[in-house]
Structure 1
Amino acid sequence: MRVHGRVTGLMGTALRGLAGLALGAAGAMVEVVFLVLAALGCAYAFVFSRGRDTVPRVVAGGALRLAEAERRRLDALLGGSGDVGGYGPLRALAYLVLRLPVAFLGGVLILLLVYGAGAAVTLFGGWMMGRAPDGIEPTPWLIAYVVGAGLVLLYLDLQGLVGVAALERRLVRRCLGPSPLQAYERRIAQLSESRAEVVDAVNDERRRIERDLHDGVQQRLVGLAMLIGRARRSGDPERSAELMRQAHEESQRALEDLREVAWRVYPAALDSDGLRAALETVAERSVVPVTIAYGPDRRLPSPVETVAYFVVCEAVTNAAKHSGAGRVNVRILERGTMLVVRIEDDGAGGADPAGGGLAGLARRVAALDGRLRVHSPTGGPTVVSAELPCG
């Protein structure tokens, strides 16, 4: 079943890639016309504005829209364009010019693939129906030669298509992505922000622990002390025994509250048995039925397991307390160098990503350079997903 799923996934990726390259080749023909008109418009503007206006507004807007369309095509069909944005019309024009030969090369390779498939169907179809195309009689050696040559040419063509797709992604990142200095500045800003968010998250966690201890364990201990004091002052042996029995029960409840607080702070099973065992404990303790699909077959880095655990724990807790969910589905899988954590419930939706719990999760995830998404329309379902680097 898993092999079948992987094969289906590879076929889907291949078909999306072919569609992306075909759309890129078709778009290149439109962009050729645009670039010719843009060159005439820029020349006209340069001459009649005496060099003050080199890129007319219409040309700039068209270049930005075309570049954005190409970026969306890469994101949807060719594996993503990476960290791009904030580029101007000149960089967009440069990108459109540089991608033309790459796009046309992809179109030629797709045409060769279609032509080869058509030729193979014609040739082998004729042999199977007893008609030798062009008088070529099939012999075992000829069939072996045609099949071998066809497979080699197919391999070369597919490798060429893979190379064109990689070149497309690299070109858009190089032309439309941030410069090294901008990337460093953005990274410094992200690290400064995430550091401040981690400090806030730690302080929020400390306040939560203090509330749990004050409202739970401390109240239990106060009640226990009062029961023991009343038992000591009582002159009635039966009354003293009853009070001591109540004190013993209160001590058991205090221990349960203390274990609950300790488990919420950090479960021991996470270090000893791993993320899967810790999540199974979450499912067992949840008042809402929880189904867990766990994909990784290895131990993940400890920080990644910790953040993934708290994402699941908080999402399950929110589903039980606020959404009225009847079931929660948790899915953990590795996708390349990323660990994907997805929690979906069938509750009423309307979760606020800026709320205390989810905002704290976002800060935890950001501290690992991950991303947290919350999709919770009114009426549900609520989907909380996190992507954590685990390479």
Structure 2
Amino acid sequence: MLPRVHPSGPAGSDLAARPGDHAMSRGLRLLIRAGQPLAVVSLGALSGAGEVLFLIVAGLAWRSRGRAGVLESARQIVAWELRRLSLPPMSADAPRMLGYLVARLLPAALGAVAAGLLLVGLVLAGIVTQAVLTGQMSGAELVMQIVIGSALLALNIQAVASVLRLDRWLAGNLLEPGGREDLEQRITELTTTRAGVMAAVDAERRRIERDLHDGLQQRLVALGMMLGRARRSHDPEQATRLLGQAHDDAQRALDELREVAWRVYPSALDHGTLEDALGMVAHGSAVPVRIDYRLADRPPPQVETVLYFVACEAITNAAKHSGATVIHIDITGDDGEIAMVLRDDGQGGADPTGSGLQGLARRVAALDGRFTLTSPEAGGTTIQVTLPCH
């Protein structure tokens, strides 16, 4: 039978001390957490003193055209203040940054007062403790001092918390754009996209008119003349030949009319999905087109229409200008957005300022989407379109 071993010596001391060490470490963490707001406010008071000097120097440097250095220094100071307050980085213009640094002087001064009063309270607590130890203070006086000191300490702690909230409130409201500015920016974006859509519609109308005038109208005029010749002909064989040519021209005119109508709106989307419509476009393309369609749900009609026109324009451009041998189209959906990526292995060098691509970018922007064109020389062309599907 083995003897029972009791922990003794250094090992036993360690085991016995662990609960106490754990409680001590927990108390230390609580003390650090409780003192963190005071540390943040005290650092803000010190940085406020430095910011006073910075604003004075900035005013002098601004008059001497040292604005670039002033703005860079202000950006660094603001970034430091945001880290002190545990706030995320914020991008602000020069007036906002300088205005925030001026407004920050108020919580800095209040923080200095709150920290100073707490320091005075600690000194007074030390004096009271010394008076109690030396017998210079009675029990009733001690109780009164404890009550008064506790009330003042609670007020001081509340003051520190209020200063910290004020400091964070100023940073959040002076550095980030407000609701009115967000609304004005949104109105500007909508005005720009509306003008872009109107320009794209006008350009599309002009192209349709040009196609009808130069293509379909000329073909119909020739068809009418051919039918007139067949009607006036006294030779049955010549009339039959002219009627056959007129029939072929009528078929070609019908095909051209169908193409023009599809440029206005792809009717295939009314009877099938975007995948079906793009499949028909790929079937008629001179360049092989590979489509990877990975959407679980059908997107809204306006989204399908924009994606269809972007794909058609990209396929047409690749077939006419890039010399590509294959075109890849990937359509996916994630997090309420639909992304379409079109790649070809052509020669690249597509002009993003061209009327066709500009029209596509306006269509995408009208639905709050993103349109990106990447076309390096001899590196192929990639078009990325992202649209919200709500």
Scaled by the length of structure 2, what TM-score is found? 0.62
Q: How far 1:213 moved relative to its partner?
A: 1.4
| Kept after mapping to 1: 8 A contact 2:216/2:253 | yes
| Structure 1 pair 235–191 and aligned structure 2 pair: CA distance change class (3 A) | same
| Structure 1 pair 275–43 and aligned structure 2 pair: CA distance change class (3 A) | same
| Structure 1 pair 204–38 and aligned structure 2 pair: CA distance change class (3 A) | same
Unpaired segments ≥5 residues, structure 2: 1-42, 83-87, 103-169
1:207 is aligned to 2:206:
yes
Instruction: Give the counterpart letter for 2:252 in structure 1.
Output: R
| Kept after mapping to 2: 8 A contact 1:195/1:367 | yes
| Structure 1 pair 203–48 and aligned structure 2 pair: CA distance change class (3 A) | closer
| Kept after mapping to 2: 8 A contact 1:338/1:388 | yes
1:75 aligned residue: none
Q: How far 1:180 moved relative to its partner?
A: 1.0
Matches of 2:59 and 2:216 in 1, distance apart?
80
CA deviation profile, 1:123-154 (whole Å, cap 9, x unmatched): xxxxxxxxxxxxxxxxxxxxxxxxxxxxxxxx
Q: How far 1:208 moved relative to its partner?
A: 1.1
1:44 aligned residue: 53
1:313 aligned residue: 312
Matches of 1:36 and 1:294 in 2, distance apart?
59
Matches of 2:338 and 2:231 in 1, distance apart?
58
1:326 aligned residue: 325
Matches of 2:230 and 2:266 in 1, distance apart?
36
| Kept after mapping to 2: 8 A contact 1:324/1:347 | yes
| Kept after mapping to 1: 8 A contact 2:79/2:89 | no
Matches of 2:172 and 2:340 in 1, distance apart?
27
| Kept after mapping to 2: 8 A contact 1:329/1:343 | yes
2:93 aligned residue: 86
1:64 aligned residue: 75
| Kept after mapping to 2: 8 A contact 1:290/1:329 | yes
| Structure 1 pair 61–216 and aligned structure 2 pair: CA distance change class (3 A) | same
Matches of 2:243 and 2:57 in 1, distance apart?
100
1:186 is aligned to 2:185:
yes
CA deviation profile, 1:207-256 (whole Å, cap 9, x unmatched): 11111112221122111111111111111111111111111121121112
Q: How far 1:51 moved relative to its partner?
A: 11
1:115 aligned residue: none
| Kept after mapping to 2: 8 A contact 1:291/1:328 | yes
Q: How far 1:336 moved relative to its partner?
A: 0.9
| Structure 1 pair 380–177 and aligned structure 2 pair: CA distance change class (3 A) | farther
Matches of 1:50 and 1:349 in 2, distance apart?
51
Matches of 2:212 and 2:194 in 1, distance apart?
27
| Kept after mapping to 2: 8 A contact 1:81/1:172 | no
Matches of 2:93 and 2:357 in 1, distance apart?
29
CA deviation profile, 1:3-24 (whole Å, cap 9, x unmatched): xxxxxxxxxxxxxxxxxxxxxx
Identical pairs, percent? 48
| Structure 1 pair 390–321 and aligned structure 2 pair: CA distance change class (3 A) | same
| Kept after mapping to 2: 8 A contact 1:41/1:59 | no
2:350 aligned residue: 351
- Highest CA radius of gyration, 1 or 2? 2
2:148 aligned residue: none
Q: How far 1:44 moved relative to its partner?
A: 3.0
CA deviation profile, 1:17-40 (whole Å, cap 9, x unmatched): xxxxxxxxxxxxxxxxx9999656
Instruction: Give the counterpart letter for 1:64 in structure 2.
Output: R
Q: How far 1:335 moved relative to its partner?
A: 2.4
Q: How far 1:265 moved relative to its partner?
A: 2.4
Instruction: Give the counterpart letter for 1:380 in structure 2.
Output: G
| Kept after mapping to 1: 8 A contact 2:75/2:97 | yes
CA deviation profile, 1:315-342 (whole Å, cap 9, x unmatched): 1111111111111111111121211111
Unpaired segments ≥5 residues, structure 1: 1-33, 72-79, 95-170
2:350 aligns to what SS in structure 1?
A: coil
2:385 aligned residue: 386
Count how many residue pairs are aligned between Structure 1 and Structure 2. Answer: 277
CA deviation profile, 1:162-208 (whole Å, cap 9, x unmatched): xxxxxxxxx99877542211111111111111111111111111111
| Structure 1 pair 85–347 and aligned structure 2 pair: CA distance change class (3 A) | farther
1:299 aligned residue: 298
1:336 is aligned to 2:343:
no
- The aligned runs of 1:144-159 (5 Å cut-off) are none
| Structure 1 pair 319–50 and aligned structure 2 pair: CA distance change class (3 A) | closer
1:13 aligned residue: none
